Amino acid sequence: LKSTAHLGESQYDPVWFANANRRFKTKKKFMRDRARSRIVGYLSVTKDFIKICKDAKLKSIMEDVVKDLITELQEVDYFEGYFDRDDRRYRMCDEDGSFKCDGIYNQNECQYGSEINPYAGLKKRMAFRGWHLDHII
């Protein structure tokens, strides 16, 4: 399949936007929302974990940490620039939108050469949903 990574707007790459909310007119806005959603999702899982903590002192400490984290996340717009290929400050991909795995936390490189560009087409965008960020990219 031909890559459509260079196309940024829904009118020029309607297939890429299939099943995406119609409020997104550009890949940039869509990908920024995906990054923000991931961060918010991780935060939600953390809050759920804290709710089941039985140690009152530890629970209070964790709630304070999360409260401070939320304040910091708000200051950086929940790192929505992580998936934005134009955001030179925060992006985790290259200028084309490719994400390259650098390997798991205790290795210097990815043994599989994993790479994905969600900007390149609908199938790659869908596969990127399952691309876990639990190791260095």
Residue 136 scores a pLDDT above 90:
no
102, two tokens:
């650098």
Average pLDDT estimate for 45-60 = 96
Average pLDDT estimate for 68-94 = 97
* The pLDDT of residue 102: 80
Residue 124 scores a pLDDT above 50:
yes
- The predicted-structure confidence for 5-52, as pLDDT tens digits, reads as follows 999 999 999 999 999 999 999 999 999 999 999 999 999 999 999 999
Whole-number Å distance between alpha carbons of 43 and 128:
20
Q: Are strands 99-100 and 115-116 parallel, antiparallel or unpaired?
A: antiparallel
- The predicted-structure confidence for 91-113, as pLDDT tens digits, reads as follows 999 999 999 888 777 888 888 88
Nearest to 128 by CA among 88, 80, 93: 93
If you search the block for the tokens 């790479």, which residue do you land on? 115
DSSP labels for 15-53? TTTTTS-TT--BHHHHHHHHHHHHHHHHHHHHHHHHHT-
If you search the block for the tokens 């304070």, which residue do you land on? 64
* The pLDDT of residue 134: 52
**CB burial class (10 A; 0-12, 13-18, 19+) of residue 90?**
middle
Average pLDDT estimate for 60-89 = 97
pTM: predicted TM-score of the whole model, two decimal places = 0.87
Residue 137 scores a pLDDT above 50:
no
